Structure 1
Amino acid sequence: MIDADRECRRLLEFARTSAASPSGFLWLDGSGRPDPSQPVHAWITTRMTHVFSLAHLQGVPGAGELAAHGVGALTGAVCDREHGGWYAAVSPEDGVPVDTTKAAYAHAFVLLAATSAAAAQVPGARALLAEALGVVQQHFLDDGGRVVDSLVSDLRSGESYRGANSSMHMVEALLAAGDVAGDGHAHAQALGIAGHLIHDVARSWGYLLPEHFTLDWEPLPDYNADRPGDPFRPFGCTPGHLLEWSRLLLHLEASLDEPPAWLVEDARGLFARAVEVGWDVDGEPGFLYTVDWQGRPVVRLRMHWVHAEALAAAAALHRRTGEESYAAWQRAFEDFVEEFLIDGEQGSWHHELDEHNRPSATVWAGKPDVYHAYQSLLLARRPLAPVLSVQLASVRSAP
């Protein structure tokens, strides 16, 4: 089994070099050096701000300064003060926007980062949280409470697309906002998004959740069939997202006063389906990246984030149900991580393995951030609610 404390410290040490730009956190290569070919991505800056805020709450030396660096970027270069919201990417040298798209995916992480930084009492984080929650609820949730995937720079309508990935991370962010800001409405919004995509859509598809939809939320099963290995919008079903949703449903259940019974039922169903179609199905251990609508392998690469989410989901199900089978799955997933993903030489985890579990870079070059790996090790050993930042803040403030 992984020594979680030691591994978290190792991940944080690797990640520190990503703060090399005044505009935010940088994409790291395989050895932990900033990649000069990459801009400052909002999704990396937000996720690293979240991680270092959690680390600060754990008392890690220097983590508070790194969390403050992230809040400074999110209230500075990455933030669009003219129209509101946050740019997708800016220049690392001078903070000039290089991608002015306003994406729900990135905005969900702005909200998540703001909640963790606020819980960690990082200066400016409370104002950032209020701003992020306002932007999300005004612009990225429609009248039915469903996620608007992307907007143009002035926050008007963007592409004719809706996606399950951004919706999933919005559930994560709204759960955190509900706990940190004391906003019960945010929890209700998270339940509404999950109810639609999981209890209605995924369940009707035998838990092979479609990832891509029209503006009216009609599934697009052939979307990106010509680009099956897209890093954010791959063709087919993504077993890793089934695992991530499974865990989130259990956090949601634990956060509600009167949770519906389907939350734990669907969490079980998603996990079982992910293992059935994704784990050890092609003669090699590990989870595949994607499968088709018959559950057959499409992209056989193994992504680090899928295995991080697998061990966190198994731990959550074990905590919720007490069933030993889930503990056994957690051990199996941690064994895989320890054998194949942890890079003991250059640091962090290999972000991608080929079909024979050798390091590769077909979809993901380098090791952009440590969000999935670090968070999964914390989640696997803590209660389901409240969110990590609130739990850690409570421990820190205890006499």
Structure 2
Amino acid sequence: MTAPWPELPTHREWLHEQARSLLIFGRRTPSADGGAYWLNDHGEPVPQNGIHTWITARTVHVYSLGHLMGVPGSRPIARAALAGLTGPLHDPEYGGWLASLGPGEPDGTKAAYAHAFVLLAATSAVAAGLEGAPALLDEAAETLLQRFWDDDHGLAVDEWDRTFSRCDPYRGINANMHLVEACLAAADVTGDRAWLERARRISQFVIAQARANQWRIPEHFDADWRPRLELNRDKPGDQFKPYGATVGHALEWSRLLLHLEAALGEPGDTDWFGAARHLFDRAVADGWAADGADGFVYTTDWSGKPVVRQRMHWVVAEALGAAVTLWHRTGDPAYADRYAQWWDYAHRYVLDHDHGSWHHELDEHNRPAATVWSGKPDLYHAFQATLLPLLPLTPSFATAIAQGRLA
């Protein structure tokens, strides 16, 4: 019997090669003024798209991991991106981080999504020993807890204006999902288990919502956290707030729940594994080859019918992560088989063998497209997909690599 791919030294070597190639592709992302550019299909900066906090923070995270892995050239890129978070993207007047800079006037929106990535970036930068990272971590944690964390509900609000005087009534799961990831990393770096408690509360809410909707996760809510299931029906392909159930997020939650279970170290009153398995099974049943062609559709309606049929690179990246994480958790060869199947798919269609990185969007026939995403903005999802098979369930990426636990 052939050993599962994650156990094969040759496959692990291939994953390391893929990770290094991604770091090479992104080498032109730093801005001379601090921050990280959006990249095009060839890895060239797209200045007209501005400098975004979420891309900059993800870049700090990825290249901090690259530095911890001993990949030359990673530290300068991480430092350049970090300078964007401590410099031009930071709001010295009102605190927190602007959504983006230029061209034209800055977008002063203060979004939980971006701030969650700032916290994640700071934890990775601290683990990598970058100057200025501890102060960034302190401020990111304080801003999230004072401005975004709603302790009554055990969830984060979504968006403020620049002055933190008006909170948008919209509430969203996407930002809370990335906050769970950041909470896990913050707990590892700081040793403060209160971050795990916040991750637990968010995750329990999501599990309850998914269970009530046949394991399809409602993404959008009003100010009282009542689901808005029909939001954006008229613009279903929205980058951050699409209508319906987002297949990739169910897969991402499946993985995160298993990381949380391992980090908590005790079963408690929640069946984390059971929920992870249900979310995975529903996402695969609804999303994989749902319209006759291989690949995961972007979204479905509440009966599981495909709505946006484009194949996003981040969805297959999260499918790979979920499958290998479930395999780590259970040893069930069915998950290893899915993992191998989806790497074969990604290798055939998603990896750009000519220009590098991964095509960020394919159409329903698996041809490169740009109806939702243009270019190849950043490396975050693809890079993590290459590392998850090489790491334990806990601790999180930067801490595990710093501890020498990368296979």
How high is the TM-score relative to the length of structure 2?
A: 0.94
Task: Report the equivalent of 2:31.
Answer: 20
Pair 1:126-2:146 in alignment: no
Pair 1:365-2:380 in alignment: no
Pair 1:69-2:80 in alignment: yes
* 1:333-348 matched pairs, under 5 angstroms: 333-348=342-357
Task: Report the equivalent of 2:98.
Answer: 87
The 1:348–1:189 alpha-carbon spacing in structure 2 relative to 1, beyond 3 Å, is same
Amino acid at match of 1:120: A
Distance 1:396 1:309 in 2: 21
Deviation at residue 41 of structure 1 after TM alignment: 0.5
Amino acid at match of 2:79: A
Distance 2:164 2:34 in 1: 22
* 1:1-399 matched pairs, under 5 angstroms: 3-91=14-102, 98-144=106-152, 145-198=154-207, 200-260=208-268, 261-395=270-404
Amino acid at match of 1:18: T
Deviation at residue 156 of structure 1 after TM alignment: 2.5
Distance 1:241 1:126 in 2: 30
Equivalent residues of 2:391, 2:405 under 8 A apart: no
Amino acid at match of 1:189: R
Distance 2:79 2:142 in 1: 21
Distance 1:47 1:378 in 2: 15
Deviation at residue 381 of structure 1 after TM alignment: 2.1
Deviation digits for residues 235-285 of structure 1, max 9, x if unmatched?
000010000000000000000132334111100000000000000111100
Deviation at residue 396 of structure 1 after TM alignment: 8.7
Deviation at residue 91 of structure 1 after TM alignment: 2.8
Deviation at residue 110 of structure 1 after TM alignment: 0.2
Deviation at residue 173 of structure 1 after TM alignment: 0.5
Distance 2:157 2:400 in 1: 30
SS of the counterpart of 2:293? coil
Distance 2:105 2:49 in 1: 13
Distance 2:21 2:256 in 1: 26
Equivalent residues of 2:392, 2:405 under 8 A apart: no
SS of the counterpart of 2:106? strand
Amino acid at match of 1:206: Q
Distance 1:21 1:308 in 2: 30
SS of the counterpart of 1:7? helix
Deviation at residue 392 of structure 1 after TM alignment: 0.9
Distance 1:83 1:254 in 2: 37
Amino acid at match of 2:20: R
Give RMSD over aligned pairs.
Answer: 1.4
How high is the TM-score relative to the length of structure 1?
A: 0.96
Distance 2:28 2:247 in 1: 31
Consecutive unaligned residues of structure 2, counting only runs of 5 or more, are 6-10
SS of the counterpart of 2:150? coil
Identity %: 50
Amino acid at match of 1:139: R
Deviation at residue 70 of structure 1 after TM alignment: 1.7
Distance 1:394 1:70 in 2: 24
Deviation digits for residues 131-185 of structure 1, max 9, x if unmatched?
1011111111113221110011112332210001001001000111011111100
Distance 1:396 1:173 in 2: 20
Number of residues of Structure 1 aligned to a counterpart in Structure 2 = 393
Distance 1:276 1:325 in 2: 15
Deviation digits for residues 260-316 of structure 1, max 9, x if unmatched?
341111000000000000001111001000000010010000000000000010000
Distance 1:84 1:36 in 2: 25
Distance 2:272 2:256 in 1: 9
SS of the counterpart of 2:77? helix
SS of the counterpart of 1:282? coil
Deviation digits for residues 4-38 of structure 1, max 9, x if unmatched?
11111111111010113423100001111111320
Distance 1:130 1:152 in 2: 22
Amino acid at match of 1:262: D
Equivalent residues of 1:288, 1:302 under 8 A apart: yes
SS of the counterpart of 1:375? helix
Equivalent residues of 1:242, 1:271 under 8 A apart: yes
Deviation at residue 97 of structure 1 after TM alignment: 5.6
Amino acid at match of 1:54: L
The 1:61–1:221 alpha-carbon spacing in structure 2 relative to 1, beyond 3 Å, is same
